[in-house]
Chains A and B, each alone.
Chain A
Amino acid sequence: MHDSLSLFLRRVLFMIRKELITTLRDPKSQIILILPVLVQGFLYGYVANYNLDEAPYAVLDQSRSKYSVELVSKFDGSGLFKRARTLSNATQIADCIDSGDTVMVLTIGPEFAKQIASGQSAPIQVITDGRNTMTSGVVAGYASAIVANYNSELQNNQNLIDVKSITWYNPNQLTHWGFLASLLPMMSLSQIMMLAGLSVAREREDGTFEQLLVTPLGPIEILIGKAVPPILIGLAQCTLVLMLSVFWFKVKFVGSLATLYLTLLIFLISCVGIGLSISAISSSMQQVMVYNFVVLMPIMLLSGMSTPVRNMPEVLQYITYINPLRFAIEAVRRIYLEGATLGIIAPDFIPMVIVAAVTMPTAGWLFRHKLS
């Protein structure tokens, strides 16, 4: 019993070592495994940002009064907006927005000062560019906040109700925090599925798979040998993104590393299971790539990373229950930013474990039976 176990382990180790060598010996494949991770990490860190700094805006001040100048100076001094143009009449608004030079046009009507002084409400208009709904929403939100502040000042800060708003886990409401955390599982997903998928298809095309099947290796040994290396590489990629996020973008990691890696491990097992199943049903590397693409698209789009799942149509929401990425992103974000404990995120494991439990044995069985 002991002997056969040690033989089993030895064979699996040889398989794993071989897989790692064949995957990593070529410098080109090392680059392919690292470069996209870094590039996307940096891009998301910088680009996936719905916070605007010094957003260009234009002003049409028809009031030209003490109050209007005061209000505009609040906009200019906020750091959120930067005046790009000062308009003299309403016909110029269209050009400002059309050309995309400014994200907002602030118009203050001629009656503004009179309305304020007489205690009436004084409407101002904020025109935003709807071609980018996200920016448009953010800009309108900023404008409201500045105006609310100004209103409070007009009343000498004597407010009836003080609203104290705090944001947990992300006090400055920086969107890229959430994106970078989501990137940990997402980044490794696409490459790991592809890697796992191609490793079998490549062996089939090169003829080495038959050579493997005539050795005493059993399906379980082949399966473990094929699954472990992509998982290790995936974990390494996750670590890379984690370091990028913590040390370069200074997003503080508040959770437990053990919980994080356990989550990533379970997630990667389910990814590798999907990848291996794809490769088991494909007959060429090209097919693997295409099927991977077909499977990856919905997995990524329906992951809730950039658009919340709750806003999807109901049918799609049900489909997301078999999407391991959805639950991985949720769990990782909460571990990373909230410091969520194992007990809290454990329910997220269930869908991932089910996916892994279905795909892995399927792939293992298909290894030998596919050939016929």
Chain B
Amino acid sequence: MFSLPDFTVIFMNDFLRRLKALVLKEYYQLMRDSSSLTIGIIIPIMLILLIGYGLTLDIKNVPTAVVLEDASPTVQDMLSFMTGSEYFETHYVTSMREAEKLMSQRKAEAIVRIPSDFTSKLKRGHADIQIILWGVDAATARTAGGYIEAGIAQWQAANRANYPVASTGKGAVVVTSRQWFNDANTSTWVFVPGLVVMIVTLVGVFLTTMVMAREWERGTLESLFVSPVRILEILLSKIIPYFCVAMCGFWLCIFAARVLFNVPIHGSFLIILFSSVIYLIASLGMGLTISSTIRSQFLASQIALLVSMMPTMMLSGFMFDLRSSPLVIQAVGHILPATFYMELIKSLFLAGNNWPMIIKNCSVLTLYAIFFIILSFKVTRKRLE
């Protein structure tokens, strides 16, 4: 007797009523379970503070021992670039033995040795300087070594004329380097956008992985399945609250980026928001897929760590530049949704709107979102087998 629209209304009413009930249940559970709150709120705050304040790749204050076997005013003039530089923290010693001792106590990571005959040889037109670098921390060693050599080269170029050394009369090339997108030259600017990716992944995949597996483990699904509830409603009821938690984390990061760390947002904020939502949906889909398939909280969380957090840290370009790693690993890095999201977010924060990239990466993320959401529906069945 009823017309089709009426039927749709009834169906929608039932659907919304059940969905509301399930979301409410999920909300109560979330608010009463300290571990979900810890992962959803406390860990993100901790990550923001630790990564924002604690992590820096900038090479500064490298402890350097300067062995002044020759302490003439010329030498002091030559080395003046080190004092007062933020890159070095210099200790002056008089013998190589002392310097080596400092290095073995980890109080020096570089040694600059000015031999005793330095000034006299210099006056004859050719002198040597020895640099010893602590190679265990190779990144610091290389950069510190580069700075020292460049400083000496500069002094040399400026003072060449005063010494009896053959000259071709040619000028010298001077490098001025400019870093785009990072005026402050600080890795915090790079880490903070990466943090957005980390936190969205943490909540989206890791936390969500636990929730479906928890229902399997506690046997709550058996009773739930034998009710008018549809799979769509169960999955949506998991997605909606955790979507909100992840968005809280997202806003927290944006707030920290702007207020605590003064990271600029050169691109469009709306696109940042939009791409984050898409990435989050993909993450939620992935989390639910793992969770529904594995059905054990411990195993599921281990797998979530292995397929989401670890690659996000290592392969998405958060810590390491993949361009110099083997092709296989680059390929693995480039199938991760996190890589696309990371690239996009960093650019939007630091570079601005680069439309071809925005369109490409957003489309890839959208495909991932659709894929994982469909997959999560495929693997969740109202069956106990």
| Residue ranges of A at the interface with B (Cβ–Cβ < 8 Å) | 28, 32, 35-36, 39-40, 43-44, 46-53, 55-56, 71, 97-100, 103, 115-138, 140-141, 143-145, 147-148, 150-151, 154-156, 158-171, 173-175, 177-178, 181, 198, 285-287, 289-290, 293-294, 297-298, 301-302, 306-308, 310-313, 316, 330, 333-334, 337-338, 340, 344
A169 touches B180 (CB 8 A): no
B54 touches A143 (CB 8 A): no
List the A side residues contacting B126 at CB < 8 Å: 159-162
From B57, B133, B152, B324, A133 is in contact (CB under 8 Å) with B57
From B43, B57, B129, B183, A307 is in contact (CB under 8 Å) with B57
B298 touches A130 (CB 8 A): no
From B136, B173, B180, B305, A333 is in contact (CB under 8 Å) with B136
From A130, A198, A337, B182 is in contact (CB under 8 Å) with A130
Complex: how many Å from CA A171 to CA B329?
A: 26
- Known A166-B133, A178-B137; judge A121-B324 contact (CB<8 A): no
List the A side residues contacting B156 at CB < 8 Å: 159-161
Closest to B183 in A: A130
List the B side residues contacting A344 at CB < 8 Å: 104
Complex: how many Å from CA A156 to CA B167?
A: 8
Q: Is B227 part of the binding interface, using a Cβ–Cβ cutoff of 8 Å? A: no
Closest to B352 in A: A98
With A47-B325, A158-B167 already in contact, 15 other A-B pairs whose C-beta atoms are closer than 8 Å: A36-B302, A39-B306, A49-B325, A51-B324, A100-B357, A119-B171, A125-B178, A143-B177, A167-B142, A169-B135, A170-B138, A174-B138, A177-B136, A294-B43, A313-B53
- Known A56-B323, A168-B134, A285-B297; judge A47-B329 contact (CB<8 A): yes
A169 touches B57 (CB 8 A): no
B171 touches A124 (CB 8 A): no
From B34, B51, B149, A148 is in contact (CB under 8 Å) with B149
Complex: how many Å from CA A102 to CA B181?
A: 14
Closest to B310 in A: A40
The smallest C-beta distance from B176 to any residue of chain A, in angstroms, reads 5
Complex: how many Å from CA A340 to CA B356?
A: 52
Q: Is B127 part of the binding interface, using a Cβ–Cβ cutoff of 8 Å? A: yes
Q: How many residues of B contact A (CB 8 A)?
A: 110
From A168, A298, A312, B135 is in contact (CB under 8 Å) with A168
Q: Is B268 part of the binding interface, using a Cβ–Cβ cutoff of 8 Å? A: no
From A32, A35, A49, A160, B320 is in contact (CB under 8 Å) with A49
List the A side residues contacting B315 at CB < 8 Å: 43, 47
The smallest C-beta distance from B11 to any residue of chain A, in angstroms, reads 37
List the A side residues contacting B46 at CB < 8 Å: 294, 297-298
* Most B-side CB within 10 Å, residue of A51, A130, A156: A130
Complex: how many Å from CA A310 to CA B63?
A: 10
Q: Is B366 part of the binding interface, using a Cβ–Cβ cutoff of 8 Å? A: no
9 closest Cβ pairs, A-B complex = A130-B182, A170-B135, A290-B35, A130-B179, A141-B146, A165-B131, A167-B135, A126-B177, A130-B181
Q: Is B236 part of the binding interface, using a Cβ–Cβ cutoff of 8 Å? A: no
From A131, A177, A302, B54 is in contact (CB under 8 Å) with A302
A55 touches B323 (CB 8 A): yes
From A50, A150, A165, B173 is in contact (CB under 8 Å) with A150
Q: Which among B21-29, B158-166, B254-262, B285-293 touches the partner chain?
A: B158-166
B136 touches A131 (CB 8 A): no
B61 touches A310 (CB 8 A): yes
List the B side residues contacting A55 at CB < 8 Å: 323-324
- Known A119-B170, A125-B177, A133-B58; judge A290-B135 contact (CB<8 A): no
Complex: how many Å from CA A35 to CA B310?
A: 13
From A71, A115, A133, B171 is in contact (CB under 8 Å) with A115
The smallest C-beta distance from B175 to any residue of chain A, in angstroms, reads 5
B324 touches A99 (CB 8 A): no
Complex: how many Å from CA A115 to CA B190?
A: 37
Complex: how many Å from CA A145 to CA B143?
A: 11
B141 touches A173 (CB 8 A): yes
A158 touches B173 (CB 8 A): no
B179 touches A52 (CB 8 A): no
The smallest C-beta distance from A259 to any residue of chain B, in angstroms, reads 15
List the B side residues contacting A118 at CB < 8 Å: 171
Closest to A48 in B: B320
List the B side residues contacting A115 at CB < 8 Å: 171
A130 touches B128 (CB 8 A): no
From A44, A126, A135, A141, B143 is in contact (CB under 8 Å) with A141
Q: What per-residue 1/0 map shows which CB atoms of B334-354 lie under 8 Å from chain A?
A: 000000000100110011101
* Most A-side CB within 10 Å, residue of B177, B183, B315, B343: B177
A126 touches B175 (CB 8 A): yes
List the A side residues contacting B356 at CB < 8 Å: 99
Complex: how many Å from CA A99 to CA B136?
A: 34
B165 touches A144 (CB 8 A): no
Q: Is B319 part of the binding interface, using a Cβ–Cβ cutoff of 8 Å? A: yes
Complex: how many Å from CA A171 to CA B306?
A: 34
From A43, A174, A301, A308, B51 is in contact (CB under 8 Å) with A301
From B43, B61, B167, A293 is in contact (CB under 8 Å) with B43
Q: Is B234 part of the binding interface, using a Cβ–Cβ cutoff of 8 Å? A: no
Closest to B182 in A: A130
Residue contacts A-B, CB under 8 angstroms, 10 given: A40-B314, A121-B174, A147-B173, A155-B170, A167-B132, A171-B135, A174-B138, A181-B136, A301-B50, A310-B61
Complex: how many Å from CA A160 to CA B43?
A: 56
- Known A99-B356, A297-B43; judge A166-B172 contact (CB<8 A): no
A289 touches B178 (CB 8 A): no
B167 touches A165 (CB 8 A): no
- Known A133-B187, A311-B58; judge A163-B178 contact (CB<8 A): no
Q: Is B95 part of the binding interface, using a Cβ–Cβ cutoff of 8 Å? A: no
From A97, A167, A181, A298, B50 is in contact (CB under 8 Å) with A298
- Known A163-B149, A165-B149, A168-B133; judge A313-B54 contact (CB<8 A): yes
Q: What per-residue 1/0 map shows which CB atoms of B276-298 lie under 8 Å from chain A?
A: 00000000000000000000011
B326 touches A46 (CB 8 A): yes
The smallest C-beta distance from A97 to any residue of chain B, in angstroms, reads 5
From B129, B143, B157, B180, A162 is in contact (CB under 8 Å) with B129
List the B side residues contacting A147 at CB < 8 Å: 173-175
